[in-house]
Amino acid sequence: MTRTTLDLWVGIFVVAGFAALTVLALKVGNLSTYNTSETYQLQAYFSNIGGLKSQASIKSSGVLIGRVSQISLDSERFEAKVTMLIDKRYQFPKDTFANILTSGLLGEQYIGLMPGGDEKFLKAGDEIKKTQSAMVLEDLIGKFLYSKAEDSN
């Protein structure tokens, strides 16, 4: 085999390998939904985050607008502090409501943002004051049983 055909084959191999990596990144993975440079940061405190994980999606009206970047426990307020990265294209009023929701009955948990009516918008580093914690199945069942018991009384 002469050197030129050998080079050709190695070239095909390397190009195919990198093409495979690109397919993995764009088609299989979620790189296409990253927009690292154009995000701003918001915080929110929840009394219970349920099964929320970092990299979970943040949606508004069902549209993906950002991702959870960090979750930690605030040791002064004893609440979960969730840091979010929101796409710069989307601005939200100050009184926006953050909800931890579940996609489907057993699906992943995500944060849903419901815009309020305030004239001022949230800036980078601001805190979303109005939050609602995750629905925990045990609590729901507990409430259900409690109300049933009340009904029968």
List interacting residues with other proteins (CB under 8 A).
Answer: 3, 6-7, 9-10, 12-14, 16-18, 20-21, 23-25, 27-34, 53-55, 57, 71, 106, 108
Closer CB to other proteins, residue 34 or residue 121?
34
Question: Which helix or strand (DSSP H or E) is residue 81 part of?
Answer: strand 79-87
| Cα Rg of the chain (Å, integer) | 23
Closer CB to other proteins, residue 32 or residue 75?
32
Sign of the CA dihedral running 120, 39, 52, 101: positive
- Cβ distance 136 to 50 under 8 Å? yes
Min dist. Cβ of residue 109 to other proteins (A): 12
Min dist. Cβ of residue 110 to other proteins (A): 10
Min dist. Cβ of residue 143 to other proteins (A): 26
Closer CB to other proteins, residue 9 or residue 121?
9
